[in-house]
A and B are shown apart, each in its own frame.
Chain A
Amino acid sequence: MRQGFRRMATIVRKEWLHIIRDPRTLALVIVFPVMMLVLLGYAVANDVEDIPLAVADLSKTDASRLLVDKLTVSGFFMVTHSAQSEDQILEMLDAGTIKAGLYIPEGFGREVTTGGTGVVQFYIDGSNPTIAQTAQLAVETVSQSTSQEILVQRLERSGAGMTIHLPVDARVRYLYNPNLRKMNFLIPGLVAVILQVQTLLLTAFAIVREREQGTLEQLIVTPVRSWELMLGKILPYILVAFINVAMTVAVGAIWFGVEIAGSIALLAALSLIFLLGSLGLGVLISNVSRTQMQAMYMASFIMMPSFLLAGLLYPRENMPWVAYYAGYLLPVTYFLEIVRGIILKGAGFFTLWNWIWPMAVFSVVVFFASVFMFRKRL
């Protein structure tokens, strides 16, 4: 046993030397997750706002100005151009200088003040569905609330001093992510997926490299046992992966303002369980790969679904049932829910239990399977 521990420590020390002797790779390993976080953070999590809008206000009345003001104040639109006709708006949409255009006809103000319906034309560039849907929703909401306001004014003026209250007022309160920021949804997910990618690639490479160099053959003739070799190879990378977790969470909190609502200790403990399984997967991959290239592609088989099916970018509930259930096969799916639960909701161990136990089972099975299958013979 003591000899076994010594052999494992020897492997750890050697593996650590490999890591620090290659500072370029180390820098990449450390910087890559943070870079990915920042890039994805800006690219994906950008909420739709300030949609460039051109306004052709031929009415030039209080009512038309109220409508335009309300659109601007909503934050969804920014008036970047003014136009004189519908044709001009269409030209600008064609050219891509604006994403939406508002045409207010000359008679709008008169219709509104005389109690009729003022019709305006709103153009939306539908080529990006996300922007288009947001714009549509925003313009509908804004026009409704403007209508309400005008209606109330009208009634108050005619109703001789009485105040009007709207009959129904539904008040919505968002829990956990009050400002509905996508960043809050994304950062915890990124922590999970980055961990998955890092551990998978690092361990797979660390073992396949020895196979390529021929040093694995040399190790096989030594008395080292497979679990000593495996643990020895994995431990340094657990440390590296933990640095990654800490850095992504820190960047998420400091840069993007996503603070951890729950227990950091719980997050660390559950990360460790996840890492065990993920590193085990890396070892399994290295068992079936002869070259680093093969390992790379094998890892992609797990990485791509992790990005798509685990619910990092798109909510799993909206996926077709095949994709939905396929997500349950990936350990990162459970871990993602756990990380989101802890960071956003401050959830505790028992609340998350339904996600914890399948992940733990997976990790333990994969870890022992990988030790078992780790072929000491070539």
Chain B
Amino acid sequence: MSAEKAIEAIQLTKRFGDFTAVNQVSFEIPRGEIFGLLGPNGAGKTTTIRMLCGILEPTAGEARVMGYDVAKHAEEVKQRIGYMSQKFSLYDDLTVYENLGFYANLYGVPREKLKPRLAELIAMAGLRGHEKQLTRDLSGAWRQRLALACAIVHEPPMLFLDEPTAGVDPVSRREFWEMIYQLAGQGVSVLATTHYMDEAEFCNVIGMMYRSRLIALSDPDSLREGVIGVLFEVDCQEPGRAELVLKDLPLVQDVAAHGVLLHVQVASEKQRAELEQTLQSNGIVVERIERILPSLEDIFVSLVDHENRQHKRADKD
């Protein structure tokens, strides 16, 4: 059964002394999916990824990667995964080709396949003609693509990317995700962490981490539809006063100003009329009320609010 799963994490927990970095995180990712782990810095994403790669030992819980237990069969796991760490850890004083060759030899890429494989990777990473350049002279985007090439030199069926796009310009970020798509198209399963919410759009499955916990796990569309009710975009005059009016309304879950527009969150589609009436009875001219899909950022903020409210309630009890 586990053969179809790329990752299974069961109550995965990591404590450093008194601090719990990852708290009872459970999830299952089918093979061939791109799984995005979102959350602010310090949420526990990197610690989770490090446990899955066998760099850190879990304090409690267990995890299987490509069907192998990360604690018991670390060597089996290592042969099947590629890992790109946060800082694109490359050897600065080695050339592009030497960095690639180093990892290829460590992973035991067969000698007769070595040359064609490296040529293929250099072409993929767009580094042709730069083979002899020292890595320290490469730009951020090139280092990123070289790090990716190093991570997949042994054609692993599972790829872990920790903040793969940090410090890279938007165009290169998009190109990078194109490459990830191609790999996923070839059947590679991917787990990527990021704190850019917009990048989650590239993922098939999204997990949101906050304060060491996994607070949401779903595909992007269901997240948009289901998690936080209905979002209306309100175009009206006197938006400042309108915001105050709506805030006091019991049926409104949240109001946020987006430029001159207001984003109003309510429980259901049917409450549109009630919103309009309230505003008009307060003497505010309403131009337009339109249902919109929330961005992942909206969803994350709303989930975090929800989580914090629960925390407070728990503290009071």
| Interface residues, chain A, with chain B CB atoms under 8 Å away | 3, 6-7, 9-11, 13-14, 17-18, 21-22, 213-215, 217-224, 377-378
12 residue pairs from A and B, CB less than 8 Å apart? A6-B105, A17-B94, A17-B98, A213-B89, A214-B85, A215-B91, A217-B55, A221-B78, A221-B83, A223-B79, A223-B108, A377-B54
* Chain B residues with a Cβ under 8 A of chain A: 50, 53-57, 75, 78-79, 81, 83, 85-87, 89-94, 98, 102-103, 105-108, 150
A18:B93 contact, CB within 8 angstroms: yes
Cβ-defined contact, B93 with A7, below 8 A:
no
Taking each of A9, A14, A222, A377, which has the highest tally of chain B beta carbons within 10 Å of its own beta carbon? A222
Nearest Cβ in chain B — how far from A21, in angstroms?
Answer: 4
* Among candidates B54, B57, B87, B108, residue contacting A221 with C-beta atoms closer than 8 Å: B54
Instruction: For the complex formed, measure the closest distance between the CB of B99 and the CB atoms of chain A, giving whole angstroms.
Output: 9
Taking CB atoms, residues of chain B closer than 8 Å to A14 are 91, 94, 98, 102
State the CA gap A14–B102 with chains docked (Å).
7
Chain B residues near A3 (CB-CB < 8 A): 108
Closest to B54 in A: A221
Report A-chain residues with C-beta under 8 Å of the C-beta of B107: 222-223
From B50, B75, B85, B86, A223 is in contact (CB under 8 Å) with B75
Cα distance A276–B29 in the bound complex, in angstroms: 47
A223-B75, A223-B79 as given contacts; A218 in contact with B57, CB under 8 Å: no
**Quick check: B105 and A10 within 8 Å, CB to CB?**
yes
Which residue of the partner chain B has the closest CB to A3? B108
CB–CB B106/A224 < 8 A? yes
Residues of A within 8 A of B106 (CB): 7, 10-11, 219, 222-224
Tell whether, in the assembled complex, residue B55 and residue A221 are in contact, meaning their CB atoms are under 8 Å apart: yes
Question: CA–CA, A223 to B105, complex, Å?
Answer: 10
CA of A378 to CA of B108, assembled, Å: 23
Q: Which of B93, B103, B106, B108 has the most CB of A within 10 A?
A: B106
* Given contacts A214-B87, A217-B85, A378 and B56 within 8 Å (CB-CB): yes
Chain B's closest residue to A4 (CB) is B108
Bound state CA distance, A200 and B266, in angstroms?
Answer: 67
- Closest B residue, CB atoms, query A378: B55
Chain B proximity of A208: nearest CB distance (Å): 14
Is A222 a contact partner of B85 (Cβ separation < 8 A)? no
Roughly how many angstroms separate A220 CA and B83 CA in the complex, as a whole number?
A: 10
**A7:B87 contact, CB within 8 angstroms:** no
From B86, which residue of chain A is reached at the shortest CB distance?
Answer: A214
Q: Which residue of A lies closest to B81 (CB)?
A: A221
B55 to chain A, nearest CB (A): 5
State in angstroms the CA–CA spacing of A221 and B154 once bound together: 12
A215 and B90 form a contact (CB under 8 A): yes
Task: Contacts A7-B105, A21-B93, A221-B54 known; list 16 others, CB within 8 Å.
Answer: A6-B108, A10-B105, A11-B106, A14-B102, A17-B93, A18-B91, A18-B94, A214-B85, A214-B87, A217-B50, A218-B83, A220-B54, A222-B78, A223-B107, A377-B57, A378-B55
Q: What's the least CB distance linking A286 to chain B, in Å?
A: 17
Query: How many Å lie between the Cα of A215 and that of B86 in the bound state?
Result: 11
**Residues of the B chain whose Cβ atoms lie less than 8 Å from the Cβ of A224:** 106
- Complex CA–CA separation, A282 to B108 (angstroms): 29
What residues on B are CB-neighbors of A9 within 8 Å? Answer: 105
Give the 3 A-B CB pairs with smallest separation, nearest first.
Answer: A214-B89, A10-B105, A221-B83
Chain A residues with CB below 8 A from B54, complex form: 220-221, 377
Q: Which of B57, B79, B87, B102 has the most CB of A within 10 A?
A: B102
Residues of A within 8 A of B89 (CB): 213-215, 217-218
Contacts of A221 in B (CB 8 A): 53-55, 78, 81, 83
B103, A222: Cβ atoms closer than 8 Å: yes
CA distance A10 to B106 in the complex (A): 7
Complex contact A10–B75 (CB within 8 A): no
Q: Which residues of B contact A7 (CB under 8 A)?
A: 105-106, 108
Set B55, B79, B90, B108: member contacting A220, Cβ < 8 A: B55
In the complex, A80 Cα to B85 Cα: how many Å? 72
**Separation of A14 and B150 alpha carbons in the complex (Å):** 15
B91 cross-chain contacts in A, Cβ below 8 A: 14, 18, 213, 215
What residues on B are CB-neighbors of A6 within 8 Å?
105, 108
Q: Report A-chain residues with C-beta under 8 Å of the C-beta of B94.
A: 14, 17-18, 21
* Bound Cα distance from A14 to B90, whole angstroms: 12
Kindly state the separation between the CA atoms of A2 and B73 in the bound complex, as whole angstroms: 21
Interface centre among B78, B79, B89, B92, by most A CB within 10 Å?
B89
Q: Are A377 and B75 in contact (CB under 8 A)?
A: no
- Chain B residues whose C-beta falls within 8 Å of the C-beta of A217 in the assembled complex: 50, 55, 85, 89
Q: What is the minimal beta-carbon distance from B65 to any residue of chain A, in angstroms?
A: 11
Q: Nearest B residue to A220 by beta-carbon distance?
A: B55
What residues of A have a CB within 8 angstroms of the CB of B92 in the complex?
Answer: 213
- Residues in A with CB closer than 8 Å to B85 are 214, 217-218
For A22, list chain B residues within 8 Å (CB).
Answer: 93
Q: How far is the CA of A377 from the CA of B51 in the complex (A)?
A: 10
Residue of B nearest to A221 (CB): B83
Measured in the bound complex, the distance between the Cα atoms of B85 and A221 in whole Å is 10
| Nearest-Cβ distance from residue B107 to partner chain A, whole angstroms | 6
Q: Report the separation of the CA atoms of residues A13 and B94 in the bound assembly, to the nearest whole angstrom.
A: 11
Chain B residue with Cβ nearest A214:
B89
User: A223, B78: Cβ atoms under 8 Å?
Assistant: yes
Give min CB distance, B137 to chain A, whole Å.
Answer: 13
In the bound assembly, the distance between CA atoms of A377 and B108 in angstroms comes to 21
A45 to chain B, nearest CB (A): 39
Q: How far is the CA of A222 from the CA of B91 in the complex (A)?
A: 15
In the complex, which residues of chain A have a beta carbon less than 8 angstroms from the beta carbon of B150? 218
Contact partners of A377 in chain B: CB under 8 A: 54-57
A10–B56 contact, CB under 8 A?
no
Q: How far is the CB of A153 from chain B (nearest CB, A)?
A: 78
The residue on B at minimum CB distance from A224 is: B106
Inter-chain CA distance A215–B91, complex, in Å, is: 7
Chain B residue nearest in CB terms to A17: B94
- A9 to B105: give the CA distance in the assembly, Å: 9
Find the B residue at minimum CB distance from A222.
B106
**Nearest CB of B to A231, in Å:** 14
